[in-house]
Chains A and B, each alone.
Chain A
Amino acid sequence: MIDTARIDAIVVGGSAGAFTVLSSLLPALGPAPRVPVLVVLHLPPDRPSAAAAALGGRGQRVKEAEDKERIEAGVIYFAPPGYHLLVEPDRSLALAFDEPVHHSRPSIDVLFESAADAFGEGLLGVILSGANEDGAAGLGAISARGGLTVVQRPDTAEHPFMPAAALRAAPASAALSVDELRSIFAGFDTPSRDRGALDD
């Protein structure tokens, strides 16, 4: 249904109600997904960045994104609270302290638009549950640059507003249940015979 072979990177955005969905999706990627995964979750500002640690399945490499760090396949990066996360044209990561977008910093639009510029057709954008419209313009940008876009089916989301807005901005997006999203993520798991080389 979705051609994951052409994908070089995944970006995921979500807000209210996305945390539980994400914690069921990430383990499906396996311990060493074939591509890097970049995540922006809106979290209350007092919530520490422990979110990243809490979400990683066993054996997964999950970390807070650092400024000017080179992106590595197999690693799941989270935007640090209070900073925008962006992808530079050379595909390294950058943080910024610019004004919030849609009252959010980190903002999903900021990550998605910069990642769309850096990865073009090789990008998969995913919007999960949420109660504001951050991410809609970003998903539209990914779609416009030829990337693949999917949203959590609004009627399955705890807060349908964000995926519904994203669907309007990127009408070519597939609207999928959490199970369907999980099986897409599982497509990035590397078969265990390839894994030896990555593990050591």
Chain B
Amino acid sequence: MRALAHEVDLEIRLLLDAIYHRYQHDFRDYAVASLRRRLAQAVEHLGCLSVSGLQERVLHDPTAFPSVLQYLTVPVSDMFRDPWYFRAVREHVVPVLRTYPSIKLWIAGCGHGEEVYSFAIVLAEEGMLDRTLIYATDINPAGLEAAQAGIYPLDRFRRFTENHRRAGGKSSLSAYYRAAYGSAAIDKRLKKRIVFSDHSLATDSAFGEVQFVSCRNVLIYFNRTLQDRAVGLFHDSLCRRGFLGLGAKESLRFTAHAAAFAEVEHDARIYQRKA
């Protein structure tokens, strides 16, 4: 079956080339169909007439790129999103991590930080946070800033609390944030063990040696080529028998690295590097 070529897809290709050469952000191997929708919104929001118009703006007006970046990335998340994932981490991963004198975790594509703080809380509850370092990375500077600030609207915490409970939470979530004026700020104790940094799965290289990589709901935005690259980075960053956790609807099945990992828990999408 042959794909139909459309003008819009051609314009998108040119825009992504322009962004890559001008800003070194590489979206050229992202899945196209959802990108098309989000770029249509960006065209409208920035008052352009077409994707080509957006390209001109992005090239000549450096202040426009940060807003376009918000459309190219999707930071939607929750604390303890898909609670069964954190339950499975507790059950299958924590007992192994516990055997290491010092623990390193990499959370790739950390969005606004909800997932990062969820991990910090699990580790605190298990008494392991003090000897853990969490690397939290993303390509969106505005997102990283929000993640580092760790301040969320208070009304989201009803859901967070319910998720935390379903994730097998051993303490009260309220012990980890301070509420004021409709917002809640994550406790400094959790932040001490977290390093936020800018890292792209599309252009950067492997990341130190870690025992666990959690990369959830990022790979679905990539095409197979880029998925292969990212999973290759995870493989190279993990120690022998290190763990990899993916999003609820992601799997290694269609990637080139499927054979290099063993499945630990199917529903939670937790894998272990073989050798």
Selecting from A14-22, A52-60, A88-96, A173-181, the interface stretch reads A88-96
Selecting from B26-34, B150-158, B164-172, B177-185, the interface stretch reads B26-34
**Of B6, B37, B219, the contact of A98 (CB 8 Å cutoff):** B37
Chain A residues lying within 8 Å of B37, measured Cβ to Cβ, are 98, 110, 113-114
Distance in Å: Cβ of B12 to nearest Cβ of chain A: 10
* Interchain CA distance A176-B21 in the complex, whole Å: 52
* Interchain CA distance A117-B5 in the complex, whole Å: 9
* Interchain CA distance A114-B6 in the complex, whole Å: 12
Q: Are B33 and A69 in contact (CB under 8 A)?
A: no
Chain B residues lying within 8 Å of A68, measured Cβ to Cβ, are 31, 223-224, 227, 254
| Interface assignment of A86: CB less than 8 Å from any CB of chain B | yes
| Interface assignment of A99: CB less than 8 Å from any CB of chain B | yes
**Of B3, B9, B221, the contact of A91 (CB 8 Å cutoff):** B3
Q: Are A83 and B74 in contact (CB under 8 A)?
A: no
| Interface size class of chain B, counting residues whose CB lies under 8 Å from the partner chain | 20 to 34
Q: Are A86 and B3 in contact (CB under 8 A)?
A: no
Distance in Å: Cβ of A151 to nearest Cβ of chain B: 23
Q: Which of B243-275 contact A (CB under 8 A)?
A: 249-251, 253-254
Q: Are B250 and A117 in contact (CB under 8 A)?
A: no
Query: Given A68-B223, A95-B220, does the pair A89, B3 have CB atoms closer than 8 Å?
Result: yes
Query: Given A96-B221, A98-B38, does the pair A86, B33 have CB atoms closer than 8 Å?
Result: yes
Distance in Å: Cβ of A168 to nearest Cβ of chain B: 22
| Interface assignment of B104: CB less than 8 Å from any CB of chain A | no
| Interface assignment of B49: CB less than 8 Å from any CB of chain A | no
Chain A residues lying within 8 Å of B221, measured Cβ to Cβ, are 96
**Of B33, B250, B254, the contact of A87 (CB 8 Å cutoff):** B33
Q: Are A83 and B249 in contact (CB under 8 A)?
A: yes
Q: Taking beta carbons and an 8 Å cutoff, which residues of B are in contact with A?
A: 1, 3-4, 6, 9, 31-34, 36-38, 74, 76, 217, 219-221, 223-224, 227, 249-251, 253-254
List the 3 closest pairs (A to B, CB-CB), nearest first: A86-B33, A114-B33, A96-B34
Extra A-B contacts (16), CB below 8 Å, given A67-B254, A89-B33, A119-B4: A66-B251, A66-B253, A67-B220, A67-B250, A68-B223, A80-B249, A83-B249, A88-B32, A94-B33, A96-B74, A98-B34, A99-B76, A117-B6, A117-B36, A118-B3, A118-B4
